[in-house]
Chain A
Amino acid sequence: MEPLHGLLEMLVLRTLERGALHGYGIAQALSDRSSETLTIEFGSLYPALKRLEMKGWIESKWETSDHNRRAKFYRLTAAGRKRLKQEHAEWASFAAAVRRIMGPEPEGA
């Protein structure tokens, strides 16, 4: 299952909330945390990273990783943090609304 377009950006922001990650790290974190329910193609993730960067919500820097490799690390900016808060609130009310309508699992069939 692939997340919707705007959703992916929100998930990336949330993933970066706890600290800087490189591109592969973000992909892994997304996959791990969704218990592999969400399959995020790197082909979609990477343009999303650039999009967020252009919007100024995340920034990137070449750094050396734990395994002593050079990699580009992304971290949230102040604007990104604000955006995450806003998106989270919107998503929460949206999810609650959907849940209310959907209710418990339909019976039968």
Chain B
Amino acid sequence: MTFWKKLTHLIPSVRRASERDMQEEVESLREMAGPGALGNLTLAVEDARSELTWISLERLGQDLRYAVRILVKNFSFTVLCVLTLALGIGATSTIVSWINGTLLNAIPGAQRTRDIVSLTRGDLSDSPTPPYSYPDLLDLKRQNTSFVGLLGYHNEPMGLTGNGRPVRVWGTYVTADYFHILAVVPAMGRVFSGDEDAAPGSGAVTVLNYAIWQSQFGGDPSIVGRTIQINRHPVTIIGVAPKEFQGAMPAVRSDLWLPVTMDPVITGNRFRLPDRGTSWLNVLGRLAPGVTRVTAQQEMNALVQRLVQQYPNDHRGSNEVVLDPMWRSPFGGNVYFAALLPVLLATAVLVLLLACANVANLFLVRTIGRRKEIAIRLAVGCTRGRLIRQFLAEAILIAVAGGMVASLLTCWTSGLLARFLPSSREVALGINITVDGFVVTATFIVALFSTMVFGIVPAIRATHVDPIATIKEEAGGIAGGVGRSRIAGALVVTQVALSLLLLVSAGLFVRSVENAQRLSPGFDPHNMMTAAFDLKPAGYSSSTGTALQKELLRKVAALPGVEAVTMSDWLPLGFSKRTTDVSVDGYVPQEHESMEIWIARVGPDYLRTLRNPMLAGRDIAASDVAGLQPVAIVNRAFAERYWKGADPIGKKIEVWGQWRTVVGIAETARYRRLDEPPEPFVFLPILQSYDSDVVLLVRSSVDRAALMPMVEQAVHELDPELPVFDVSNMDSQVRVSTFQRIAGSFIGSFGLISLLLASVGLYAVVAYTTRQRTHEIGIRMALGARPESIFNQVVSQGLRMTGVGLLIGLTLSVVLTRVLRGQLLGVTPVDLPTYAAVALLLVVIAAVACLVPAVRAARVEPVVALHHE
């Protein structure tokens, strides 16, 4: 009853009607009782009013309305505060959207991904090999009790034909329970029912990615039941995956899914599926209810140990099983994001704090102008609590507006992460980060949090006003200003310290990027063009494919401006790692020693084309073809590890079941990262060991734009239908690792924002305190102080604050940049040149920020100043 009445009284018109009624009533009573008999009627009505509704709520409404009026009146102030906050909030919410889109939503389109874990086997690294063979997976599926289900998958490029121009797509072989374990609901048709993978060769059906359905099939609503050609084998489409679903590997896209048992048919590899020694499947599991990751890991380790004992030759190296939650799954993008995004989030929060400090400063400065208003309101009986609430209402409105601008900003910036990731022929990135309810909620929580940071201190400070003194005091604000400028000074010091920290972090990444450019990859990546083509989808056999590759090399070598040309099935310093088990003549591996070694199949003149120096022997030659003596080239690291300095030429190694003679030794280059330790490597002649999916590497001084059409023409003279893709320059491949690039760019831009904020803050405080002292300066000048000394005093005030900020910032940086140690390249966290450069930059910026107020102070006319206020 009371509740509803009070609720209706929140409506201003209802409340006003009641108030009028009460006014009328007491008026009639006054007439009856005579004037004065009933005491203070105004107060009685006022007290009765507070019974009508929730008074605090009503006051909140009043405060907000008043705040809106104040903010609209000071429009430029409001805009400045909102934009400053929006920068800070936007930086934070951008990173939140990335975390939400990658770590928190590792498999979009799947349900209850919290229960899903990723299984690794063997040594942990940032590019682990797929951990399981198909027979192992089947055994584990049967034996385990920890999981509702275990699924396996494998991504590889395939050719989609029979639908106009042949296209290269990323196909994924999956166990038939894949979609059910992930709980993916199809957008159309159905997903695999679970028995498609009954026997090798069974299950000629596929589920399409939504995007492929749109782009290649025009969103045809009758697509289900249609037969398409994958690697020229007919496959029936049974369904389309939901739009968000890109596959089970975080941040990696699958274009279509096939039962794993189609591998012998589609890829044509009859050995991979039944072989226990071939680890090619990534495995995910959904934990059974009540089972923890730790107990599941114990069980899986026990089961894998049993397999190791049963089949020791198929399980060399480390066999330790590790279960990871999807947010830090070592497969796919999250292994990078889990390292990168927390660092970026911390940086963004620093920017937010800086923005808050700036807005707090602006609020403090503004309260000076409102001292009279505050004093008068206190004098007529307004409580301090009410005033503080009033100021907080303004702060909340600004924060909410900042949050709204930040949300809009985030709609744009959330997509930036995907753009920063390199496109690559080795992996299809599928990141689709959107601003969802979670991100918007987080944005506004961050906004309200910022209110607490920037709103409360100024509100409390502002109401510390002695009403009588202030109203009397015509000279204005000297006494009240001191405390305030001390807080403002502290805020500026904080800003300088924080922006130093940010800039130092950014500087360290910039140095890493520089170092990376200086670090030699061990070959010459300049003036090299790369172009990929894949012969398998085009229907070539190994003999016709080899013939085309050989002929193409001859044709391209003859093009004008081409110095050298070769091909390879792998590019250095990319995402992929290709290794295989190698037996070395004369070397007995220790028990469980992994003999997995990096390998690439390369064309004739590979080392010469890359300018990778050779220590002995010869390069891969055009005469190394199938049927002749099988040969290999190893690198120096290989020779030193396995033959301890003995001459490797003529020694034998066994790769893929064939003994090959070593004919050359290459200098060790960098294969995966620029700062990796020397890694043994084996090169095989591609004309001898065929691979259909290759990259053409052309060394030429001719510009890529001019060279490319010629190369493409050479390809199309041999096969007009063959698509050439991923045309690129080698030096863009040899970029700094993605992490440092992203971190450098973002921390760098955050650092610049922070520099801007800190200099604006410094300027505001120096300008404000100087203006406050106009009167004093006028007196001093009237007494004969020279403008230079006034100028110097103002500048030194600013520089003193900067100096304190720098000291604090340097200490913070030394302590906090330690966490970046692992992500830096060739530079330690305490890098003196970086620190010195950043500190110098800040001092210069601070001096510039102080310049304008200092000049203004030095030009003060004593007479004007004395009349000031």
Measured between alpha carbons, how far is A50 from B2 in the docked complex, in Å?
A: 11
Contact of A23 among B6, B29, B40, B47 (CB under 8 A): B29
Alpha-carbon gap, A71 to B5, bound state (A) = 23
- Beta-carbon contact of A54 and B5 below 8 Å: yes
Q: Which residues of A contact B844 (CB under 8 A)?
A: none
The contact of A54 among B32, B38, B39, B51, by CB within 8 Å, is B51
Look across to chain B and name the residue whose beta carbon is closest to the beta carbon of A27: B38
Which residues of chain B are within 8 angstroms of A50 by Cβ–Cβ distance?
A: 22, 48, 51-52
* Residue contact B51 to A43, C-beta cutoff 8 Å: no
Can you sample 23 A-B contacts with CB below 8 Å? A22-B28, A22-B32, A23-B25, A24-B38, A27-B38, A42-B29, A42-B41, A43-B39, A43-B43, A43-B47, A46-B26, A46-B48, A47-B44, A47-B51, A50-B52, A54-B5, A55-B1, A55-B2, A56-B2, A69-B31, A71-B25, A71-B28, A79-B1
Q: Whole-angstrom distance from the CB of A59 to the nearest CB of chain B?
A: 12
Further contacts, 15 of them, CB under 8 A, given A43-B47, A47-B48, A54-B51 = A23-B25, A23-B29, A24-B38, A27-B38, A41-B39, A42-B29, A43-B39, A43-B40, A43-B44, A47-B50, A50-B48, A50-B52, A54-B6, A55-B1, A69-B31
Determine whether the beta carbon of A71 is less than 8 Å from that of B39: no
In this assembly, does B33 line the interface, its C-beta being within 8 Å of a C-beta of chain A? yes
Expressed in whole angstroms, the Cα–Cα distance for A65 and B31 within the complex equals: 13
A24 touches B32 (CB 8 A): yes
Shortest Cβ distance from residue A20 to the other chain B in the assembled complex, whole angstroms: 14
- In the complex formed, the residue of A with least CB distance to B6 is A54
- How many residues from B make CB contacts under 8 Å with A? 25
> Main SS of the interface on chain A?
helix
A11-42 vs B, CB cutoff 8 Å, 1 = contact: the mask equals 00000000000111001000000000000011
| Residues in chain A near residue B1, CB distance under 8 A | 55-56, 79
| Contact partners of A51 in chain B: CB under 8 A | 51
A70, CB-defined interface residue at 8 Å: yes
| Also in contact, A47 and B32, with CB within 8 A (given A42-B38, A54-B2, A56-B1) | no
Question: Which residues between 91 and 141 of chain B lie within 8 Å of chain A, taking CB atoms?
Answer: none
Partner of A42, one of B28, B39, B51: B39
In chain B, what residue has the closest Cβ to A79? B1
Q: Does B742 contact A (CB under 8 A)?
A: no
B705 → chain A closest CB, angstroms:
81
Q: Does A84 contact B (CB under 8 A)?
A: no
B852 contacts the other chain (CB 8 A) = no
Q: Tell me the minimal C-beta distance from A96 to chain B in angstroms.
A: 31
- Expressed in whole angstroms, the Cα–Cα distance for A47 and B43 within the complex equals 10
- Cα–Cα distance between A70 and B29 once the two chains are bound (Å): 9
Report A-chain residues with C-beta under 8 Å of the C-beta of B44: 42-43, 46-47
- Which chain A residues in 70-106 approach chain B with CB under 8 Å? 70-72, 79
Shortest distance between the CB of A26 and any CB in chain B (Å)? 10
Q: Does A49 contact B (CB under 8 A)?
A: yes
Contacts A23-B25, A43-B40 known; A69 to B48 CB distance under 8 Å? Answer: no
A54 and B28 in contact, given A43-B40, A47-B47 (Cβ under 8 angstroms):
no
Inter-chain contacts of B28 with A (CB < 8 A): 22, 69-72
A42 vs B26: C-alpha distance when bound (angstroms): 10
List of A residues within 8 angstroms of B21 by Cβ = 72
Q: Is B490 an interface residue (CB 8 A)?
A: no
Q: Does B349 touch A at the CB level, under 8 Å?
A: no
Q: Which residue of B lies closest to A25 (CB)?
A: B32
Tell me the minimal C-beta distance from B847 to chain A in angstroms: 63
Q: Shortest beta-carbon distance, A60 to chain B, in Å?
A: 8
How far, in angstroms, from A78 to B389 measured CA to CA in the complex? 41
Chain A residues positioned under 8 Å from B48 (CB to CB): 46-47, 49-50
- The 10 A-B pairs at the shortest CB distance, nearest first, are namely A42-B38, A50-B51, A50-B48, A47-B47, A56-B1, A46-B44, A47-B48, A43-B44, A72-B25, A51-B51
B31: chain A residues at CB < 8 Å are: 69
Query: Does B45 make an interface contact (CB < 8 A)?
Result: yes
In chain B, what residue has the closest Cβ to A42? Answer: B38
Q: Choose among A41, A50, A70 the residue with the greatest number of B CB atoms under 10 Å from its CB.
A: A50
A52 to chain B, nearest CB (A): 9
A71 to B21, CA, bound (A): 11
A47 to B6, CA, bound (A): 14
A42 CA / B29 CA spacing, docked (Å): 11
- A79 and B38 alpha carbons, distance in the complex (Å): 29
Instruction: Given the known inter-chain contacts A41-B39, A56-B2, please indicate yes or no for A71 contacting B47, CB distance below 8 A.
Output: no
How many angstroms from the CA of A55 to the CA of B4 in the assembled complex?
10
Query: Which A residues lie within 8 Å of B52 (CB)?
Result: 50, 54
B-side contacts of A47, CB under 8 Å: 44, 47-48, 50-51
By beta carbon, the residue of chain B nearest A43 is: B44
Instruction: List residues of chain B with CB within 8 A of the CB of A43.
Output: 39-40, 43-44, 47
What are the residues of chain A within 8 A of B25 when measuring CB–CB? 23, 71-72
Give residues 41-65 of B contacting A (CB, 8 Å). Answer: 41, 43-45, 47-48, 50-52
Q: Closest CB-CB distance, B397 to chain A, in whole Å?
A: 31
Contacts of B22 in A (CB 8 A): 50
When the two chains form their complex, are residues B29 and A22 in contact, meaning their CB atoms are under 8 A apart? yes
Q: How far is the CA of A67 from the CA of B29 in the complex (A)?
A: 13
Given the complex of chains A and B, what is the CA–CA distance between A54 and B28 in angstroms?
21
Q: Kindly supply a per-residue 1/0 record for chain B positions 5-23, scoring 1 wherever the CB is within 8 Å of any chain A CB and 0 otherwise.
A: 1100000000000000110
Q: A43-B39, A46-B45 are in contact. Are A69 and B32 (CB under 8 A)?
A: yes
- CA separation between A42 and B6, bound complex, in Å? 23
Q: Which residues of A contact B51 (CB under 8 A)?
A: 47, 50-51, 54
Which residue on B lies nearest to A70, using beta carbons?
Answer: B28
Q: Which residues on the B side are within 8 Å of A72 (C-beta)?
A: 21, 25, 28
B8 to chain A, nearest CB (A): 11
The listed residue (B5, B33, B47) touching A24 by CB distance below 8 A is B33
B36 to chain A, nearest CB (A): 11
Min Cβ gap B600→A in Å is: 84
The interface centre, meaning the residue of A41, A46, A50 with most chain B CB atoms within 10 A of its CB, is: A46
CB contacts (< 8 Å) of B29 on chain A: these are 22-24, 42, 71
Complex Cα spacing A52 to B25, Å: 16
Q: Nearest residue in B to A55 (C-beta to C-beta)?
A: B2
CB distance from A22 to the nearest CB of B (A): 7
In B559-576, the 8 Å CB interface with A consists of none
- Of all chain A residues, the one with the shortest Cβ separation from B32 is A24
Residue of A nearest to B53 (CB): A54
Q: Is the Cβ of A46 less than 8 Å from the Cβ of B32?
A: no
User: Which of B44, B47, B50 has the most chain A CB atoms inside 10 A of its CB?
Assistant: B44
Q: In the complex, A72→B26 CA distance in Å?
A: 9
